[in-house]
Amino acid sequence: MQVTPLAIADVLLIEPKVFGDARGFFFESFNQEAFTRATGVSLPFVQDNHSRSRRGVLRGLHYQLAPKAQGKLVRVTSGAVFDVAVDIRRDSPTFGRWAGSVLSADNHHQLWIPPGLAHGFVVLTDTADFLYKTTDYYSPAHERAIRWDDPAIGIEWPLAAHGIAQPVLSDKDQTGARLLAEADI
């Protein structure tokens, strides 16, 4: 397993060891001991999630307030997404900064996104299956959203390059997301 910090130091790109042969491939998509040894993260995971979306769907930027903040270990098992974490920890030296990476069924890459960050992704292929583990349970009362297009964050979503004129958002992400400067964090 190769672990690489991104532009936000504790957002980690994880490249698992993949065993390919004439039948296809095998890799350990999660191993608690190996994950903790490679990342230094020992938080337990309590929930697995799976969403499927079509090209242009953008889910996010979402987070849960303390004490229900979720760490997320995210991956894609079909298609490809551009996955983004945003540092919304007021005391962080990278407050307001974003970090992104393409996660795909082909590259097997995963991202570790620590509790306290906002997270989202846009789907780059006809469909994408997005699977992730979280370190705390879903709590609607603690869930908040930040606008995907907040100019103060300036995420460089690769929309045009993938023929996406306008992302497809949920009603909640259309109307309930705030600018970082006005967000409840």
Ligand X SMILES: Cc1cn([C@H]2C[C@H](O)[C@@H](COP(=O)(O)OP(=O)(O)O[C@H]3O[C@H](C)C(=O)[C@H](O)[C@H]3O)O2)c(=O)[nH]c1=O
Residue 133 as a binder of ligand X (CB under 6 A): the answer is no
Q: Is 97 exposed, middle or buried, given 0-12, 13-18 or 19+ CB atoms closer than 10 A?
A: middle
Q: Which is nearer to ligand X, 62 or 89 (CB)?
A: 62
Q: How far is the CB of 59 from ligand X (least distance, A)?
A: 4
Using rule CB under 6 A, residue 60 touches ligand X: yes
Q: List residues with catalytic annotation.
A: 62, 132
Question: Does residue number 89 form part of the binding site for ligand X (CB under 6 A)?
Answer: no
Q: Would you say 137 and 44 are in contact if contact means Cβ atoms under 8 Å apart?
A: no
Q: Which of 56, 170, 183, 185 binds ligand X (CB under 6 A)?
A: 170
Note whether 115 binds ligand X by CB under 6 A.
no
- Min dist CB 123 to ligand X, Å, is 11
Among 36, 49, 127, 174, binds ligand X (CB under 6 A): 49
Among 6, 14, 55, 59, binds ligand X (CB under 6 A): 59
Q: Which of 75, 119, 133, 147 binds ligand X (CB under 6 A)?
A: 119
**Interaction of residue 32 with ligand X, rule CB under 6 A:** no
Q: How far from 181 is each of 66, 67, 113, CA to CA, in Å?
A: 18, 21, 21
How many residues belong to the site for ligand X (CB under 6 A)?
Answer: 11
When CB distances to ligand X are compared, the closest residue is 138
Give the shortest CB-118-to-ligand X separation in angstroms: 8
Binding site for ligand X (CB under 6 A): 49, 51, 59-60, 62, 72, 119-121, 138, 170
